[in-house]
Amino acid sequence: MSERELHLGLMFWATGTHAAGWRHPDARADAAYDIGLIQEVSQAAERAKFDFVFLGDRLASDPALQHSNPAQISRLEPYSTAMAIAAATTHIGVVVTANPTYSDPYAIARLMASLDHLSDGRAAWNLVTGADAAAAHNFGRDAHWDTARRYDWAEETLRVVRDLWDAAPEPDGTGARRIDHRGEFFSVDGPLDVARPPQGHVVVFNAGTSDRSRELGARDADIVFAGPQPTLAKRREYYADIKARAARHGRADHVAVLPGLTPIVAPTTEEAVALHDRLNALLVLDPEREVGDIVRAGGIGEGHQRNLTSASEVFGVDVRGNDLAAAVPSSTLAAVSEEGARRLTEITRLTRRTVDGPDRITYGDLVHATPAQLSHVVVGNPEEVADMIQEWFEEGAADGFNIYPAYVPGAVTAFTELVVPVLQRRGLFRKEYGGRTLREHLGMAVPPR
Ligand SMILES: Cc1cc2nc3c(=O)[nH]c(=O)nc-3n(C[C@H](O)[C@H](O)[C@H](O)COP(=O)(O)O)c2cc1C
């Protein structure tokens, strides 16, 4: 095992992270409320020695996501789900997304501390400030706050939460003290009514995109959960930026950068490509519409719809009215925009179909490459998927990955059974847990009071 350790998490969306994942025969379309399945999938990740299961959250629903991202419409709230996972596992960490924009520091401190006790030191908080403007209207606000206000609020929240943990009693009730915090947004006396978490400070993740998010992640978080970047150069740039900011705060070795990764894996390359094609064939496309209006799609964030009108807009050539299964003429592909050309390279990487070979890119491929990707996708046999993980890990783009299974439970076990053994054989990933707590898996010490 090299000195630097690869970290792996499981992004848990019950119906899968591919928009049509719930329609695959190895998926359970009704999985969102089946605690047995949620526990079973977490146990599979634990058998593979994953660092954590990751539970995202939203504070709003949007029926329009029915065809683009059904897992985002309805699901269990993450604290309760995390408790159920903790009860059915012994080592794997459990990450709960909590948005301070709509919560109080005292409430977050006690919920996270309780989860850390009930899991024996396996809790983590994914601190997000929220991408959903609609959440404001569920919490008595007129509008979603702007970035500056959300991050000012989040930073003070984090300070208060950690102060509350540091001033919390020992499990026998001794040692508690008040914090008497008087800040810009909060007055909090303390002490907390839950003992200091076994990890001292519950591990903190941050997921965001803005400059403020990068700064908060580098200065205050343990893990930066990175969104997708369009090119390898951009991924390296992002990674180097977080590390350089962390170094400025004296914490270069204390922040891990974990991007999301959707592996479409099968025993052979041909089977993996066929699986990817099959998933895309199960997508329900959006109705055609006028060129020009970008609409909400893809779950978190803005994106284009899946249809030939949107593809025409994104690729800069008129492909409307064509048969999706037909190959696109090379002359059309030669005329695409710069952004279109970048996406054609991506299509070839995923489908192995090319601009001018015998197996040519289809109109359907253009449609599937149109919406914004939630995470980087890799399609291949176990060695090919492991190669990509190793390359990013060794060449300054990632310290590990949050694995997004395209469908559940089939894509979870495909990764744990096919790819993890390859990573272990290469000495990149642990074969056994070295400790019990999430901090121990991450090689992070318990902070002193
Ligand atoms: C990888 C990733 C995961 C995210 N997960 C969530 C989530 O589970 N819930 C949520 O409300 N927002 C989530 N967000 C959105 C962020 O909270 C953030 O609001 C959004 O990225 C806008 O960036 P900014 O807040 O830095 O401006 C996520 C963002 C990224 C990049």
> What percentage of the chain carries pLDDT values higher than 90?
82
The mean pLDDT value for 218-225 works out to: 97
List, in order, residues 6 or more apart from 373 with CB less than 8 Å away.
Answer: 228, 298
Residue 5 CA to residue 138 CA, distance in Å, equals: 41
> What percentage of the chain carries pLDDT values higher than 70?
96
- Per-residue model confidence as pLDDT tens digits over 378-420: 999 999 999 999 999 999 999 999 999 999 999 999 999 999 9
Residue 359 CA to residue 207 CA, distance in Å, equals: 39
pTM of the predicted model as reported, rounded to 2 decimal places: 0.95
User: Whose C-alpha lies nearest to ligand 1, atom 1?
Assistant: 227
List, in order, residues 6 or more apart from 172 with CB less than 8 Å away.
Answer: none
The number of helices, as runs of H, and strands, as runs of E, in the chain is: 15, 11
Cis preceding linkage at 228, omega within 30: no
pLDDT of residue 232: 87
Determine the residue of 128, 238, 403 to mutate for testing ligand 1's pocket, defined as the one with the most ligand atoms within 8 A of the Cβ atom.
128
User: Whose C-alpha lies nearest to ligand 1, atom 2?
Assistant: 207
* C-alpha distance from residue 196 to each of 154, 157, 172, 221, 316 (Å): 21, 17, 11, 19, 57
Q: Which residues are annotated as a binding site for FMN?
A: 57, 97, 151, 210
Structure tokens at 49: 């020695």
Cβ atoms of 210 and 449 within 8 Å: the answer is no
CATH fold for domain 7-263+381-442: TIM Barrel (3.20.20)
Residue extent(s) of CATH 3.20.20.30 domains in the chain: 7-263+381-442
Cis preceding linkage at 409, omega within 30: yes
**Ligand 1: distance of its center to the CA of 418 in Å?**
30
pLDDT of residue 299: 43
User: Whose C-alpha lies nearest to ligand 1, atom 28?
Assistant: 207
Q: Are strands 187-188 and 203-206 parallel, antiparallel or unpaired?
A: unpaired
Structure tokens at 280: 């895309």
Which residue ranges have their beta carbon within 6 Å of ligand 1? 56-58, 97, 99, 128-132, 147, 207-210, 213, 225, 227, 260, 300
Beta bridge partners of 377: 262
User: Whose C-alpha lies nearest to ligand 1, atom 10?
Assistant: 130
**Ligand 1: distance of its center to the CA of 225 in Å?**
9
- Per-residue model confidence as pLDDT tens digits over 51-66: 999 999 989 988 777 7
Between CA 52 and CA 225, with CA 103 as vertex, the angle to 5 degrees is 30
Residue 179 CA to residue 181 CA, distance in Å, equals: 5
Q: How many CB atoms lie within 10 A of CB 331?
A: 9
